[in-house]
Amino acid sequence: MAVIGNKVCDRDDLDFLRGQVGDDLLCWLGRSPHVRSAERGRVLPISALEQKNLAAQVDPDFVPVGH
């Protein structure tokens, strides 16, 4: 299993996620006006997603369990 964190604002959020899911945390996304817009019904093209979220900050220490 791999977990993708959503709406990560700071190191405390990231530490919390790691504490909850451990080594299953694959990557995380920050807060996104693009996603918030979609939640409100205004869907924008994926190309409008913020660059930092397009890059989805992959945890460099991630190793899939069982591999």
Predicted local confidence at residue 67, as pLDDT:
47
**Is the distance from CB of 28 to CB of 53 less than 8 angstroms?**
no
How does pLDDT run across 29-64, given as a tens digit for each residue? 889 999 899 999 999 998 898 988 888 756 666 666
Of 29 and 19, the structure prediction assigns the larger pLDDT to 19
User: How long a stretch of residues is the chain?
Assistant: 67
Interatomic CA distance for residues 18 and 36, integer angstroms: 24
Predicted local confidence at residue 66, as pLDDT:
58
Judged against a pLDDT cut of 50, whether residue 20 lies above it is answered with: yes
**Is the distance from CB of 5 to CB of 28 less than 8 angstroms?**
yes
The residue extents of the domains of the chain are 3-58
Which residues are CB-contacts of 51 (< 8 A; sequence separation ≥ 6)?
A: none
Calculate the alpha carbon distances from 22 to 4, 47, 53 in Å: 12, 31, 21
